[in-house]
């Protein structure tokens, strides 16, 4: 198993060892000791599983008071997964990174708490499973417009399928202003 750092500290790509034979394959999808040694928290409190059709775009989402770290993997299909560093004081604040996760490449990635998360579906359908370090709290969640020009994320699709909620998200600049206003 390999743990690959990205340009954003704490955002880690996990490349598991896949053992294949005539029957199929076997791999470890989580090993507390190995993940802890790589700097990934081993306490997860919620698992989520989503199914989406091609060109679905989910995100960008994050929780403010109860930020969630997420260990993301695709169990069927392919996605382009994005994380935006919104950790206060981070040297990479406002920067994003992306990774193609597929059922065939078996990659996972760990998105640390304080990062916004979103993905789009590249295959006909995709099933995504992710573990979270804190519980979902709808009253704590905020969203950022996926097409925020300040972020300039080059999503690999032209006509995204969005939920009505994701369609309404403001740009990052407005979200940050609201956060600062709430703190004063």
Active site residues: 61, 130
Q: What are the φ and ψ backbone dihedral angles of 183, each rounded to 5 degrees? A: -80, -20
Q: Which residues of 127-147 are buried (b: 16+ CB within 10 A; e: fewer)?
A: bbbbbbbbeeeeeeebbbbbe
Contact call for residues 141 and 66 (beta carbons, < 8 A): no
The closest alpha carbon to 73, from 95, 114, 40, belongs to 40
Instruction: Give the containing element (helix H, strand E) for 115.
Output: strand 115-121
- Residue in the block written with tokens 């507390």: 32
Distance (Å, whole) CA 62 – CA 131: 14
């Amino acid at each position: 198993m390999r743990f690959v750092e990205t340009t954003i500290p704490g955002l880690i790509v996990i490349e598991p060892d896949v053992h294949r034979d005539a029957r199929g394959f076997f791999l470890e999808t989580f090993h507390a000791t190995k993940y802890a040694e790589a700097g990934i928290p081993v306490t997860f409190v919620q698992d989520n599983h989503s199914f989406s059709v091609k060109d679905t775009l989910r995100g960008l989402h994050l929780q403010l008071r109860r930020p969630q770290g997420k260990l993301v993997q695709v169990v069927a299909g392919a996605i382009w997964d994005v994380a935006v560093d919104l950790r206060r004081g981070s040297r990479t604040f406002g920067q994003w990174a992306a990774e193609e996760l597929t059922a065939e490449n078996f990659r996972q990635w760990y998105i640390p708490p304080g990062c916004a998360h979103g993905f789009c579906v590249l295959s006909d359908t995709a099933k995504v499973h992710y573990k979270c370090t804190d519980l979902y709290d709808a009253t704590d969640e905020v969203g950022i417009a996926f097409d925020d020009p300040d972020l300039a994320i080059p999503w690999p699709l032209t006509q995204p399928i969005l939920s009505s909620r994701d369609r309404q998200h403001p740009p990052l600049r407005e979200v940050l202003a609201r956060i600062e206003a709430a703190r004063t």
